[in-house]
Structures are given as C-alpha cells and as structure tokens.
Amino acid sequence: MPDRIFSDPNMTVDPNIIDVNEPDFEERVIAASRTTPVMVDFWAEWCPPCRALTPVLERVTAELGGRVILAKVDADENMKLAGRYQLRGFPTVILFIDGAEVGRFSSARPPEFVREFLGPHLDRPAESRRA
C-alpha cells in the first residue's frame, strides 16, 4: 500500500479507508456507493497538496464512523480512471452515491471544508442525496 506513506502515523487502520485500482473500481466504488457514499481521492505520489489532503480525508472518514467510505486511487497507476473522470489536477476528490458522481473538489482543503462537502449527502435517502 504505497499511499499509506502519506497517512497520519497516529491513525489506526480504518476498514472504511481502502485502496482501489482500475480492475476493482466498479465493485469497490460504483457498486459500494449504492449502499454507502464513497469519496474517491485521486492522488499522485509527486503531488505536495496530495500529501496535505490525505490525512485530512482519513481523519474526517474516521470521524464519520462508517457513514462514508474513502477510496484512494493512485492516479499515476490508474491513468484510465483519471481520464474517464476528466481529472485536470491532483488531488481531486469525487463523491459517488448510488453509482453516480454527486460532487467533486480539487486541491488540499481543511477538515471543515470536507465535512461541509459531505454534509448534505450523509444520512439521507439515496433519492434525495442525488437531487
């Protein structure tokens, strides 16, 4: 798990934080988002803002205790996924609910921003989250 080098060393392993690659993206992101919102972090090892955002995303995901899954995708190793979602820079975070993209943001952000980004989409029926 090479992206773990960016993680906060004081964080415990969280089952809601997963590494995803192109072959398992459909199952672990698209299908999984039909039951739980999935926040996908497209990152690159050479990207300083990625190093700043990773611990923020992990911390917020841990705080939410299973209400969201954080899927981490190494963009350099998964260029087809980066192209599919027309990523223009890194990091880019895309939120999937019920198999569809419902929001995205780019660049490093503070925890408050990530919480506000997720807030409207959590603990609501899938139909109203997509609206």
* pLDDT, tens digit, 9 for 90 and up, residues 1-53: 344 444 444 445 789 999 999 999 999 999 999 999 999 999 999 999 999 99
* Catalytic residue list contains 49: no
pTM, 2 dp: 0.85
CB 52 within 8 Å of CB 22: no
**The domain over range 14-99 is classified in CATH as 3.40.30.10:** yes
Tokens 């990207």 -> residue: 47
Long-range contacts at 25-31 (CB < 8 A, ≥ 24 apart): 25/73, 25/78, 25/81, 28/71, 29/71, 29/96, 30/96, 30/99, 31/99
* Catalytic residue list contains 50: yes
The active-site residue, picked from 20, 29, 47, 53, is: 47
For residue 52, what are the contacts with CB-CB under 8 A and spacing of at least 6? 108
Q: Does 125 score more than 60 pLDDT?
A: no
CB 17 within 8 Å of CB 59: no
CB 14 within 8 Å of CB 69: no
The active-site residue, picked from 20, 29, 39, 50, is: 50
User: How many helices (H) does the chain have, and how many strands (E)?
Assistant: 5, 5
What phi and psi, each to the nearest 5 degrees, are found at residue 41? -100, 105
